């Protein structure tokens, strides 16, 4: 069975501080990995994705994520956050049978 675990439901952080959002997955097959973001009162949009190749993936708005196959993790990071990064972040896994599963989400609140 395929599942996605986001280890932190809420992450408060001060502006210009770094942030890391943790994601672990379980799957018996090869997967593609994603991070999506949902800003308040908006739909989901893709931040970044890992399909193959380099395990360090860079996305929009200064975010990056690292795929670790041995630890089955795909943690998201940003070295310096802005108030505008306040949003809910979702980790997702897509297996080769096209099943696309999401984690429960992490709410990031950036404070001045």
Partner 1 sequence: SQTIHQWPATLVQPVGSPLSLECTVEGTSNPNLYWYRQAAGRGLQLLFYSIGIDQISSEVPQNLSASRPQDRQFILSSKKLLLSDSGFYLCAWEETTEAFFGQGTRLTVV
Using rule CB under 8 A, residue 69 touches partner 1? no
> Count of residues binding partner 1 (CB under 8 A)?
21
Q: Is the torsion defined by CA of 54, 70, 8, 37 positive or negative?
A: positive
Task: Determine contact, residues 90/105, Cβ cutoff 8 Å.
Answer: yes
| Beta carbon nearer to partner 1, 33 or 110 | 33
Rounded to an integer, what distance in angstroms lies between the CA atom of residue 60 and that of residue 38? 13
Among 6, 21, 23, 25, binds partner 1 (CB under 8 A): 6
* Shortest Cβ 4–partner 1 spacing (Å): 8
Cα torsion through 23, 28, 30, 33, rounded to 10: -20
Task: State the residues that interact with partner 1 by CB under 8 A.
Answer: 6, 9, 32, 34, 36, 43-44, 46, 49, 51, 90, 92, 94, 98-105
């Amino acid at each position: 069975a395929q599942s996605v675990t986001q280890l932190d439901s809420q992450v408060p952080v001060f502006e210009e501080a770094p942030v890391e959002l943790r994601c672990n997955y379980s799957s018996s097959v090869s997967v593609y990995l994603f991070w999506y973001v949902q800003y308040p009162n908006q739909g989901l949009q893709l931040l970044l994705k890992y399909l193959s190749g380099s395990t360090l993936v860079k996305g929009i708005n200064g975010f990056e994520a690292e795929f670790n196959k041995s630890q089955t993790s795909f943690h998201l990071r940003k070295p310096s956050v802005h108030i505008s990064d306040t949003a809910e972040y979702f980790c997702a896994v897509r297996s080769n049978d096209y099943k696309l599963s999401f984690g429960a989400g992490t709410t990031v609140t950036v404070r001045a």
